[in-house]
Structure formats: structure tokens, C-alpha cells
Amino acid sequence: MTARLGLVAALLAWLAWGQVPEQTRMWRAAFNAGHLPLFGILALVAEAQLRRSRPRDTCVQHALWALAATTVLGVAAEALQTLVPNRSASLIDVARNIAGSLAFLVAAAAWRARREWRPAVRASALAFAAILLIAGAADLVRAVAVHVALQQSLPFVARLDGAWWERDVVDPGANVLEPSGATGMARLILNPAEYSGVALDEPWPDWRAYAALELQVRVPSAAPMQVSLRINDAEHDNSYRDRFNTVIDLQPGVNSVRVSLEDVRHAPAGRPMDLAHIRTVILFVHDLDHQRALEIGPIRLVP
């Protein structure tokens, strides 16, 4: 009975955890990686229960039944998520559930049989379990690496040079962003749309040590352009009045853009912008009716 209550409590806690509103890149990756230890522990609890209830079965049978039980539970849990707001079923999560169960069962078997198994067999089993866990936690490893790369890139928020980590941060949407080359400026080809531009999704969040955001924008054509800049923090309620908005008139040639972070701080109506948790920066053109091109230099914070 205790084991069954533990299974139910762990599953409910996991589902509740998924309802936490803070949906950062790191949080999502950690939640996804959480499938591994959760279902690994569930598999070990199920195996222990089977050893007590089916003592005549072999250890392999206990492990296989435990794997089958947690697989069914994992599939059912994913199916149930279709009934929970803002959640959806995922075959990748089912694979993580199976990987976690199998890795913990194999590692536990290697530990229990450490005196019976040859060292090479035990090492192979542990290596197999480790590979499963590393593969299942790949998103978390990448999220941590992106976080480190963002910090090391400061004071640049985005260099726009095609670095691997910027693929997780810089989103041109339906547009084409060509990384900066010899000119040091990336070329952004804007396609017609109601809102056409480039977004920085979860750049380095803490801007408190800086005074302004700077970038250079070159208009290669003879016609001027008007672009909008939006900045919002993690508390943003998706309303226009709850973020920083400004319109920038760009002339042909190179334009220097500087945005005071004091203006950003005081932009939301009724509250200060949280400069420790900046979430999104978007440079866009509203109601673009024909294709245009811009060249954008590195976006950086300045003291």
C-alpha cells in the first residue's frame, strides 16, 4: 500500500510541477529531464513490490514487469495531459519515461549483482544506463550551455554571427537572417506580414548593471524605414501598456540606436520593469506590404 501511495504522490507532484507558470528555457529543460529520475524511481518501487508479491519470478522477470508497468503508466500520464490546460502529450516524453525506467533498473541490477557479474559486464551495464540518462537529459545540457554562452557573451546580448547558441535565442520567424560576415552586420530580409521582424527570446536576463541598449541598423535602400522596438520582462501580461515600446525612424545608411534602460524600467503602466528578468526583445516592422532588407549590428548593453 505504501508503495502504491508513493507512486500516486510522485505522479501528482510531477503533474503539479508542470503547472508552474515560470516557463523559462531552463525550466522547460529541467522539467523534461525530470521524467528520467521520476520514472526511474517509479520503476525501482514497482520492481521492489514485484519481488515481494511474486517471489518465484526471476530478477529479469521482475525488471521486465516493472519496465512494462512504468511504460504503461508513462503513456497514460501523457494521455491524461491532454485534459490539463496548457499541457499536451509527447512521444519524446514517453521515450524519456522508458529511458529513465530502463536506466535505473539496469543500474540497480548492476549494483545488486556487483559480486556475481564480471567487471566488464557490470561496466557495460552502467555505461548503457549512463548513455540513456545523458541522451534523455540532452535538452537540459544544451540549456545550461546556452546560459553559460549568454553570460560569457556579455555585454553583447546577441552578436548575430550565427553562433550555435544563438539558434536558441534569435528567432527571425518567417524572415531570413544571414549571419554577420566581414561587415560585422547581419542581413535581415523581412517578408510581408502584419508584424515582420526578429526576436530575442530569453536573452541574458539581468540588465541591472547597465545603462542602455545599443545597436546599429543599416538601411541599404534609398527609402527610409520605420521600425518598432519592444522589450518586456518575465512578468509581462501580454498587453501593450505592460512593456517598453518605441518607434525608430531609420534613414538610408547606418543608424545608431540607443535605448535608455531607465526608460525601459519606467515603461510598464503601474509597475517598474524588472530589469533582472528581461524575457523578450523584438525589432519589427508593422504592416509590411513588400519585402525589405536591413543590416543589424551586434546588440549590446553599455554601462
Query: pLDDT for 32-85, tens place per residue?
Result: 898 999 999 999 999 998 888 888 878 888 888 999 999 998 888 888 777 766
Domain boundary among the residues 120, 143, 166 is at: 143
Residue 287 domain-assigned (yes or no)? yes
**Per-residue pLDDT at 56:** 83
Report d(CA 93, CA 95) in Å as an integer: 5
Domain containing 187 — which CATH number? 2.60.120.430
Residues 107, 167 share a domain: no
Q: Tell me phi and psi for residue 152, to 5 degrees.
A: -70, -25
Structural domain contains residue 152: no
The residue type of 169 is V
What are the cell numbers at 259? 535605448
Q: Do residue 61 and residue 179 come from a single domain?
A: no
Same domain, 139 and 166: no
Question: Does residue 14 surpass a pLDDT of 80?
Answer: no
Model pLDDT, residue 115: 81
Neighbours of 79 (CB within 10 A): 11
- Are 95 and 133 in contact by the 8 Å Cβ rule? The answer is no
> What is the DSSP secondary structure assignment for residue 223, as one 8-state letter?
S
Query: Is 174 among the domain residues?
Result: yes
Rounded mean pLDDT, 107-130: 89
Q: How many domains does the chain have?
A: 2
- Residue 176 domain boundaries: 157-302
Per residue in 137-181, pLDDT (tens digit) is 999 999 999 999 999 999 999 999 989 999 999 999 999 999 887
The separation between CA 123 and the C-alpha centre of its own chain, rounded to angstroms, equals: 33
Same domain, 87 and 168: no
Kindly state the average pLDDT of the residues 222-246.
94
pLDDT value of position 21: 45
Dihedral angle sign, alpha carbons of residues 234, 158, 227, 303: positive
Please tell me the distance from the alpha carbon of residue 124 to that of residue 128, in angstroms, as a whole number.
Answer: 6
- Residue 73 falls inside a structural domain: yes
Same domain, 184 and 288: yes
- In this predicted structure, which of 82-86, 91-95, 134-138, 201-205 has the lowest mean pLDDT? 82-86
Is the model more confident about 178 or about 1?
Answer: 178
Residue 108 has pLDDT above 50, yes or no: yes
Q: Are residues 169 and 293 in the same domain?
A: yes
**What would the 3-class secondary structure string for 55-82 be?**
CCCCHHHHHHHHHHHHHHHHHHHHHHHH
Query: Is 148 among the domain residues?
Result: no
